[in-house]
Amino acid sequence: MARWGDALQLRETAAAPTDQQCFYLWYDGQRLRLCRAGDRRGIYLRAASVAPRASFGGALARACGVTRARRPSVLDVMSGLGSDGMVLAALGCSVTLIEQHPALWALLDDYLHSQSVRKARALLADCWGWLAGQGGACCDTLYLDPFFPPRAKKALPGKAMQYLRELTGQPPFESENLDLCLRSARERVVLKRRLRDPKLGQPAWQIKGRTVRYDVYRAIGVG
Ligand SMILES: C[S@@+](CC[C@H](N)C(=O)[O-])C[C@H]1O[C@@H](n2cnc3c(N)ncnc32)[C@H](O)[C@@H]1O
């Protein structure tokens, strides 16, 4: 607990909060969880969910330019729980995860340490300020998974995504940030969208999965 406790100035309490609106972090002796009143299981990235997705033939790996012969450096700038970034790390890429929310960053940090993931690091930062501060290209592939655009639809997202949305207030993805991304990568920028979401700008190509697609842009970064 000391790791994130110090970094985030957390307050330790013996009893779980009872306020339904309140999220809290719980360390159960093995892993850190993001919980809320009435849900002690909470959410965290399960290592068992990463391995089955770690395939070179998968849509995520293909979109990010990962092959057996080539493992680009990846910057996952909106990491959330890190489920996509950890698939890329499991395939052998060196991955930098950036997350703006302290509780989510703590979950990422806990995962990296508890699973001894050596090829990844997690940074607590606003990615746009962080990228602007780099002054040029800082990765081969820049990966973006912002919240999907709202749509008038019935089905609720899964629990993990509901928690992330409530916790972070769903910061919108502004298309002008795409330009900054294009300047921040040497090779490509990959944007995850739902299959029917509108395109942003002009992707060079698209790779479609079962429920999502990856729009791939040619990067223009130097450095
Ligand atoms: C859709 S979730 C990402 C889900 C993630 N790919 C996963 O596999 O769990 C979007 C995430 O982007 C983060 N985010 C939004 N704006 C950000 C910013 N400016 N800097 C860093 N993180 C940001 C949110 O806090 C949220 O956790």
191 lines ligand 1 (CB under 6 A): no
Q: What pLDDT score was predicted for residue 208?
A: 96
Q: What pLDDT score was predicted for residue 174?
A: 79
Q: What pLDDT score was predicted for residue 178?
A: 95
Q: What pLDDT score was predicted for residue 154?
A: 61
CA of 135 to the centre of ligand 1 (A): 22
The Cα–Cα gap between 212 and 208 comes to 6
Residue ranges in the chain whose pLDDT is less than 70: 1-2, 14, 153-156
Q: What pLDDT score was predicted for residue 56?
A: 96
27 lines ligand 1 (CB under 6 A): no
Cα–Cα separations (whole angstroms), residue 45 to 15, 51, 98, 136, 146: 24, 12, 16, 31, 18
Burial of 8 (0-12, 13-18, 19+ CB in 10 A): middle
Q: Is residue 25 helix, strand or coil?
A: strand
84 lines ligand 1 (CB under 6 A): yes
The answer to whether the Cα torsion of 24, 27, 33, 36 is positive or negative is negative
Buried b (16+ CB within 10 A) or exposed e, 79-101: bbbbbbbbbbbbbebbbbbbbbb
pLDDT tens by residue, 107-162: 999 999 999 999 999 999 999 999 999 999 999 999 999 998 877 766 667 899 99
Ligand 1, atom 12: closest residue by C-alpha: 78
Q: What pLDDT score was predicted for residue 110?
A: 96
Tell me the H-state helices in the chain.
Answer: 2-8, 47-50, 59-63, 83-90, 102-114, 127-134, 159-168, 176-184
The Cα–Cα gap between 161 and 141 comes to 24
Q: What pLDDT score was predicted for residue 11?
A: 74
Q: What pLDDT score was predicted for residue 184?
A: 98
Q: Which fold has domain 46-218?
A: Rossmann fold (3.40.50)
Structural domain spans, the chain: 46-218
104 lines ligand 1 (CB under 6 A): yes
Q: What pLDDT score was predicted for residue 172?
A: 75
The Cα–Cα gap between 21 and 36 comes to 7
